[in-house]
Structures are given as structure tokens and as C-alpha cells.
Amino acid sequence: MPFTIAIDGPAASGKGTIARALAQEFGFPHLDTGLLYRAVGAIGGDPTTAARGLDPEDLLRPGLRSAEAGQAASRVAAIPEVRAALIDFQRRFSRQEPGAILDGRDIGTVICPGAEVKLYVIAADETRAARRAAELGADPAVMLAELRERDARDAARDTAPLRAAPDAVILDTTAMSIDEAVAAAAALVRKRLERLAI
């Protein structure tokens, strides 16, 4: 039976870093679902048409990690038809053998509500802004304003708002190193794998 790990949380909380590390440790394929929306935003034109025609190659476009692409992703992610077009892609990915890791904003609540492990990764706004500014070489104050704007938009949207699943484990990475955050997440995954093996 496939083992799905759903990792959600706001931008720069550490969810992508944790997801990539877990994928390496447990040998599961990883999908950064935010890239789907970033790619749709980057393609331009009608977002719904772009989502329906999305190709895996589109996820390799340059510039998808930029702040501009993140803002575009947040805007197109609020369109119900875009989300619907991308749900099947994500669900198929999530149920492959032996398992899969998906990170995003609605994995545990909408895409994979039956995931075997659900993590909701958070960090203080200022910490997230500093991380993203260091990553992009940007002004932390500008990043803080952009992150808060995006969080508000993502949390307020009618379709699949940003929120923790009721049964998700909250992982606050504010005061954690990358290694500490990964170790905490890996321990949760191991515990769940052991429980399922009994």
C-alpha cells in the first residue's frame, strides 16, 4: 500500500527543505506542488487553459523560484478551475508505490486527506522573511510584506485555503536548524511506518 506524506505550510517555513530531505532519506519521490501553480502563472495567458495543458517539462522553467513567480502562483491558485485541473495530477503522484511526498498548502486538507503522515510546518513571520530574503538576495522588510500579503490571500481564498488539517502535526521551525527540523519530521515518519508494519 502506498505511503503518502503530506507537508503543508506557508512560504519559507521550511516545508520544501524538509520534504526534499525526507524524500532522500526514505527513497520516496517528491512533488513540490507549488511549482505547478508557479508554472501555470509563468506560462501566462488563460490560467485554466495553462493548468489543463501543464506538462512535466513546464516544472523545469527558469525563474519559478522567484518572488514574482510566487506571487503569480498565489493569484492563479485562487481560481477554482485551475485547482481542479491540477488535483488529479497531484493525487496520481501521491499514490504511487512505495510512497510519495507532496508539499504545498492544501495537501493534507484537499489533495491527500487520507495521507499516512500530515505535517504542517510553520515559523515566525520575521524568520520566514529573513530566510526568503537570504535565498533571493532581497530586502527582508520587503519580503516580510510580501509574505504577509500572500499568507492573507492564501488563507482567505474560498477554494482550499491555507490551513492545517485537523490531524496534522504542527512543526514550528522558528528556532530549529535545518538538521533539527528534518530529524523531527523523520522521527514522525518512522514512528508511523513502524506502527503500520505491526
Q: Greater confidence, 65 or 125?
A: 125
Mean pLDDT, the chain, whole residue set:
93
Q: Give the per-residue pLDDT at 196.
A: 87
pLDDT at 41 over 80: yes
pLDDT at 198 over 80: no
List the binding residues.
Answer: 9-17
Q: Give the per-residue pLDDT at 9.
A: 95
pLDDT at 159 over 90: no
158: confidence class by pLDDT, cuts 50, 70, 90: confident
List the binding residues for ATP.
Answer: 9-17
d(CA 2, CA 100) in angstroms, rounded, equals 8
Ranking 48-57, 167-176, 183-192 by mean pLDDT, the lowest is: 48-57
Calculate the CA 55 to chain-centre distance.
Answer: 19
Q: Give the per-residue pLDDT at 88.
A: 85
pLDDT at 142 over 80: yes
Q: Give the per-residue pLDDT at 160.
A: 84
pLDDT at 51 over 90: yes
pLDDT digit string, tens, across residues 57-95: 898 899 998 888 988 888 898 899 998 999 988 998 899
Q: Give the per-residue pLDDT at 169.
A: 97
Q: Looking only at Cα atoms, what is the longest distance across the chain?
A: 51
Buried b / exposed e across 99-125, counting CB within 10 Å, b at 16+? bbbbbbbbbbbbbbeebbbbbbbbbeb
Contact indicator for 196, 146 with CB cutoff of 8 Å: no
Ranking 26-35, 66-75, 129-138 by mean pLDDT, the lowest is: 66-75
Residue 3's SS3 state is strand
Q: Give the per-residue pLDDT at 30.
A: 95
All domains of the chain in start order, with CATH: 3-193 (3.40.50.300)
